[in-house]
Every structure is written in C-alpha cells, then in structure tokens.
Amino acid sequence: MAAEVTVTSSDVGLVSQGGARRRPRAPWLRSPKVVAGLGVAGFFILMGVFGPLIVPADPSATSAAVLQPPSLEHLLGTTATGEDVLSQVLAGARLSLVVGFTAAVVGEAIAILVGITAGYLGGLADEVLSLVTNVFLVIPVLPLQILIVTYLGDGGWLLLALVIALTTWSHGARRLRAQTLSIRQRDYVQAARAAGEPTWRTVGFEILPNVSAIVITSFVFHVTSAIVVQTGLAFLGLGNVSDWSWGSVLYWSDNSNAFLLGAWWWFVPPGLCLAFLGSGLALINLGIDEVINPRLRTGLKAARLFGRARAVGNEH
Amino acid sequence: MKAPDGLDGVPVLEARGLTKLFKVRSERGAGYRRGRVLYAVDGVNLALRPGRSVALVGESGSGKSTVARLLAHLYPITAGEVRLNGRPTRPRFARARRAYARNVQLIFQDPFASLNPTHRIRYQLTRVLRLHGYARGRDQTAQVLEDLLARVQLTPANQYLEKFPHELSGGQLQRVAIARALAARPLVLLADEPVSMLDVSIRLGVLNLLAALKVQERLAILYITHDIASARYFAEETLVMFLGQLVEGGPSEELTQRPAHPYTQLLISSAPDPSKRGVRTEGRPPRAGGRPSPEGCRFAGRCPHTMPVCRDTTPVVSDLGGGHWVRCWLHEPASAETVGASATRPDQQEVARP
C-alpha cells in the first residue's frame, strides 16, 4: 500500500514537471561571487582582446612629455621616455592573458593526464607518476623558471607559456589523483569496467565528468598563478621585455626608478590590473567552491542560493 | 514456487572452489606485513541454472558481495574457477569482459552509487546497448529503450529517459539498474543485496520484478541477502555463508524449516517473528568480526555447541538428503571422533550434491 502511495506521488511530480525542467547544468552560475568574478575577469578578457586595438597611442612611441602625471592628454601619465602608460597597460593585457591562459590549459591538460592516469591505474604506474609529481611539487619553481627562461632566451610567448605549464602542473595532478582514487572505487566505475568499457572511455566518460568541478577551479587558479609568474619573470627582465605585458611595464618602471621618482602612475595601473584580475578569478573559485561544498556556505547565502533556485524552478 | 526440483538442470554459471585472498594492511604504517592475508572467500562451490534462483545468505563481512564480484570478474580470482556454460572463464581485457558481460550482469546494492550521477538515464542504458551492438538506428534504439523500461515497470519511458539519477527515487533507480543489466540480454543476473538499500515499502515490488523476470526470461539469478526470510520467499535454493565459507545449503523451504548448522539456526532465530515474542535461543547473535582460525570450524568461537574437534579440524560436508547439506561436526558424530583423534584434514573441495 505504502509502495503505491510513494510511486503515485512521485509520478504526479514527474507529470507536473513534464520534460521542461532540467537540473541546471552549471549551478554555480547562480552564485553572486561567481557572477561578480566572471564580470571582473570578463572585463580584463575584453581588454586583452580589444586593448591593443583601442590604444590611444603607440605604446612604444616616445615623446618629449616625460614622466607626466595623469592628465586628459595621457589618462595614466607618461613614462620616463614619454610613452603613454595607458596604451602600454592596454596593449600589455593581451600578452599577460594569452600566456596565462595557454599555460593554464597546457598545465591542466598535463595534470589531468598524469593525475587521473595515476589514480585510475594504480600500482606501478601510480608509483612512477606520483614520484614525478612529487618531484615537481618540491622543486623550487621560481628559480627553475628563471633558469629555463634565461637559458632559452627570447623564445616567444608560446615557449614561455609552455615553461610555466611544465613547472606548475603538479598541484592539480595531485588533487586529481586523490579524487580519482576515491571515484575509481565507486560502483558506477566498477560497473563500467565489468561491462567491458574500454579504459579510455571509463576514464573520459565515467570519471572525468565527476572531477570537472575540480578541474575548473584548478584551471582558474592556474590562470592566476601563470599570469603572476609571467609578470614576475618579465619584471626580472627575462624573456623579451620589449613585448608589452604588465610585467614588462613594471620592469621598465623599475628600471627607471619610477618608485624613487614618485611616478606612481607608471607602476600602480599594471599592478592594480593584476590584482583585480586575480581577485576576479579568485571570486569565481570561491563561488564554485561554495556551490560544490555546502559547508562553506553561510546561512544567509545558502538561503539566497536555494531560494533563488527554487524560484527559478517554480517558474516552469 | 517450486522447491526441490530447483536443483536440476544444467548450470549456466558455476563456481568451483572459488577462493579470494586479500592482503591485509598492517594497522601501523603502510605496507603489507608478510603473510597477513584474509580469506574473503574460501572454496565456494555454487551453480546457477536457467529460470532458477539461488540465495546466498550471510552476515556483513561474510564475503557474499565478494562472491558476486568474483563471479562478475570484477576482482581477479585467487584460486578456483568460474564456468560459463561449462567453459572456464577469465576475461582480462575489455573485449573479453564485454563478451562475458553479455552473459553475466551484476546488479549493485546501492542504486545511488551504481549509476553515474553525471549522465542521464538515456545515456546509461544506450551505452550498454552500444557496447553490445544492440543499438541499431535511432528508431530501433528508442523502441528498445522503451521496452527495457517497460519490463522494469517504468512507464511511460520518456518520463525517465531524460532524468539524471538524482531526480529519481531509490526504487526507480534500482529498476533502472535492473533495466541496464537486462539491456545486455544476459543469461545470469547477480543481484548483490538488490533491495537492502531500498525503502521497506518498495522492496517487495523490486523482488517480485526479479522473480517475474526469472520466470519470463529464464534468467539464472544469484540473490545475495542478509535476510534469510526474503531468501526463502525469493529463491528455490539457499546457501548460507559464514566468514568466506559456505556452511549449509539446500532447498530454501527445507533449509529454513530444518536448519542444520548452528549458524543458520541463529540467523533464522534472529529474524524478528511476531508470533515468537520473548523466545530466545542460545548462542550469541550473528555479528561481524572475529578472525577465523586456519584450522577448525570458523564458527567455533561463537557456536553454542562447540566441541574440541571443532577447534582443531575443519568440518566435513554431510549430506542430509534431498539436496540439503551442512558443514558441521554435529552431523558427523562418528567421524568427528576419529578425525579428532587423528587430526587429518578432510577434503573440503567437494560439496555433496546430486
């Protein structure tokens, strides 16, 4: 009797929902933190795409107006050789972002490959891959990056991104390995194996979708750190500092003692861009974390999240 | 329900001397201490026949789930063999696994865990059809999916196909899991506690569904449970397992009416029975834990009838007639004395069976 009641009531629910309502594919898009973060990051991405096209002046064009503070003519002032700082910041956004995203894509790909393979295969493969991962974890990364970039000289942005990717993938790999170890034992993975699914399919279609949230947060963090590394290396004068990036702007400002000269308009804008972009990306991560891990939610936020979710559900 | 003749017929799936050894991790620090092993399954013989079901009953930790997973070749077998249609099987690679899965399908205990939360029901079912080459063309696949869900009484099908697992109830999910198993068109279903995670109110529905499939499609079913009452309801033959060993077996009716092994007696008496309020049996109730001694009866530590011979020598199998057998010295009083004196190990491989 009770069974019939249960089935009937859930059937009614199913009928009233029809086929229209779906689980939101990305529930984190409801989090205000994610939305704010996406807004900030989106602003800088637009800057990276259109910045070099809308520069008010050639960022490398010198002029007689040296070390001018911000004015209507030069919104962010000028450098010691009379270049327009705003143009440099706008033009530099593209290289910083391209290097950051490329390094994160490649680094995350390595992390997925190494981490999930190690976690899924286990045994000797796991031992070897974990050893490699651990070695990369304990290597002091910055000196290594300085060394490699100095050795390679100016190899272009792609090479720089690859160097960053190759030295920073290990954190993601370790996290993914741990998660894969746990998911591998779940029944649906066992079921796929028993059914005779090929290994690549089990990994790609059973495990990978279940670690996608980790991959996304790890990727976002990776972008931030890659941009910071790229900026740091450029600030140290490594690579080609005549290519405009936020790091090379900082390098030239430091080179000309902008700090001692009080030319704050020279180094503050690229620094702020970096800080805001980093905060935006961190907000995305925090928001996703909260959605995935409900324990991080505070009462009010949780109520708002769920309240909104319910309201959206009722509209249909 | 047919009882004793459930033992006839040619077995589709047969386990002979099935043994699984797990290495035991030492509690202090990593690594395996030398020689520490756990016999999760020890010399299990069983046979599944078309249109018949066998219940495997035992407490938590007795190794019954391991038996199911060994039969599904999810774990490598330590010793013994699994025979499908009389031929030994040991699939190692995906292709062989697929061929084996076409005949033998496992239904997991927890339907919330056995369906991938990131895929829709349609994907989960279609995937099996694809794997076995049963999905030909869009229309035909849709028809097959609809039939599958109809067979597990989930209608109309399109209400369920586009759902994610978390949108369905436990009973519905277990039906989907059964439909997924049926999609491979197997000869054998290994049901590992298929109803224990379900609400009491829907257990009977799922059990009846399995019983109907058994009759209609002549499926051979291994029904694993800790509930000996449902074994009697569902299966023609019941096997009782204790710490990796089968201790008693026979037609379900006979076994539950006249349990021969003290452990079976305890299992039956520990099932709640409203008409026997206040009646208590001797011996401790079944519980997990306790390390079996390598020699002697594994139940000796908890048995109310333990004799000296029980601690020294593994019991032999006694045939009680009508397919009912037991592994207990109580039923071999004569040889218990002689074996107890000479302390030779009896042959434990062969289980008396017609």
pLDDT of residue B347: 43
Q: What is the mean pLDDT of chain B?
A: 81
Cβ distance of A6 and B199 shorter than 8 Å = yes
pLDDT in tens, chain A (316 residues): 343 333 333 333 333 343 334 455 566 677 788 889 999 999 989 888 888 788 777 777 777 777 777 777 777 777 777 788 888 888 888 888 999 999 999 999 999 999 999 999 888 999 999 999 999 999 998 888 888 888 887 778 888 889 999 999 999 999 999 999 989 888 899 888 888 888 888 898 989 888 888 898 899 999 999 999 988 888 888 877 788 888 888 888 888 887 888 778 888 888 999 999 999 999 988 888 877 766 665 555 555 555 444 444 443 3
Burial of A83 (0-12, 13-18, 19+ CB in 10 A): buried
Q: Name the maximum alpha-carbon separation found in chain B.
A: 72
Joined together, the tokens standing for residue B199 give 């609400």
ipTM over 0.90: no
Does any CB of chain B come closer than 8 Å to the CB of residue A3?
yes
Minimal CA–CA distance to A120: which of A192, A69, A183? A183
SS3 content of chain B, % helix, strand, coil (to 5): 35, 25, 40
Confidence of residue B276 (pLDDT cuts 50, 70, 90): low
pLDDT of residue B351: 41
pLDDT of residue B339: 53
Cβ distance of B101 and A2 shorter than 8 Å = no
Does any CB of chain B come closer than 8 Å to the CB of residue A195?
yes
Does any CB of chain B come closer than 8 Å to the CB of residue A123?
no
Cβ distance of B167 and A23 shorter than 8 Å = yes
Mutating which of B116, B123, B149 best tests the A interface, going by the most A Cβ atoms within 10 A?
Answer: B116
Minimum distance, in Å, between the CA of residue A188 and any CA atom of chain B: 4
pLDDT digits (tens, 9 = 90+) for B283-297: 555 444 445 556 778
Q: What is the DSSP letter of A51?
A: G
For B58-103, where are the E strands, in sequence order? 79-84, 87-89
Other residues' Cβ atoms within 10 Å of the Cβ of residue A39: 12
Per-residue pLDDT at B221 exceeds 80: yes
What's the Rg (C-alpha) of chain B?
21
Does any CB of chain B come closer than 8 Å to the CB of residue A205?
yes
pLDDT of residue B326: 92
- Kindly tell me the sign of the dihedral angle through the C-alpha atoms of B327, B328, B332, B337: positive
Does any CB of chain B come closer than 8 Å to the CB of residue A143?
no
Per-residue pLDDT at B5 exceeds 60: no
SS3 B115: coil
Q: Order of strands, edge to edge, in the sheet holding B317-321?
A: B104-107, B188-192, B220-225, B53-57, B237-242, B245-251, B324-327, B317-321
Chain B residues with beta carbon closer than 8 angstroms to that of A210: 116-118
Please state the pTM of the whole predicted model.
0.75
pLDDT digits (tens, 9 = 90+) for B304-335: 888 888 888 888 888 888 889 999 888 876 66
More confident residue, B350 or B46: B46
Does any CB of chain B come closer than 8 Å to the CB of residue A19?
yes
When mean pLDDT is compared across A3-17, B44-58, B63-77, B256-270, the lowest value belongs to A3-17
Chain B residues with beta carbon closer than 8 angstroms to that of A1: 201
Cβ distance of B114 and A14 shorter than 8 Å = no
pLDDT of residue B191: 92
pLDDT of residue A173: 93
pLDDT digits (tens, 9 = 90+) for B146-204: 989 988 888 888 889 988 888 888 889 998 999 999 898 899 999 998 888 888 888 88
